[in-house]
Structure 1
Amino acid sequence: MFNKLQSAFWKALTPDLVPDEPKVTTAAETLLPAKVVEALGGEKNLTSQQRVAITRIRVQLRDAEQLDEPALQAPGMPAVMVLGKGVVHVLTPVEVPLAETG
Structure 2
Amino acid sequence: MFEKMQRAFWKALTPDLVVDEPKQAVQPVVGLAGDIVEALGGVDNLKSQKPVALTRVRVELRDVGQMDRQALNRAGVPGVMLLDDGVVHLITGLPH
Does the pair score TM above 0.5?
Answer: yes
1:81, 1:88 within 8 Å by CA — same for their partners in 2? yes
Letter in 2 for 1:54: L
Instruction: Determine helix, strand or coil for the equivalent of 2:57.
Output: strand
- Ranges in structure 2 where 5+ consecutive residues have no aligned partner: 13-20
Q: In the alignment, what sits opposite 1:82? A: 82
Structure of higher CA gyration radius: 1
Instruction: Determine helix, strand or coil for the equivalent of 2:36.
Output: helix
Q: In the alignment, what sits opposite 2:40? A: 40
The correspondence of residues 9-88 of structure 1 with structure 2, limited to 5 A, is 25-27=26-28, 29-74=29-74, 76-88=76-88
In the alignment, the residues of structure 2 paired with residue 94 and residue 76 of structure 1 have an alpha-carbon distance, to the nearest angstrom, of: 12
Q: How many residues align?
A: 86
- Ranges in structure 1 where 5+ consecutive residues have no aligned partner: 12-20, 97-102
Indicate the RMSD between aligned Cα atoms, in angstroms: 3.1
In the alignment, the residues of structure 2 paired with residue 3 and residue 50 of structure 1 have an alpha-carbon distance, to the nearest angstrom, of: 27
Change (3 A) 1:24 1:55: farther
2:25, 2:47 within 8 Å by CA — same for their partners in 1? no
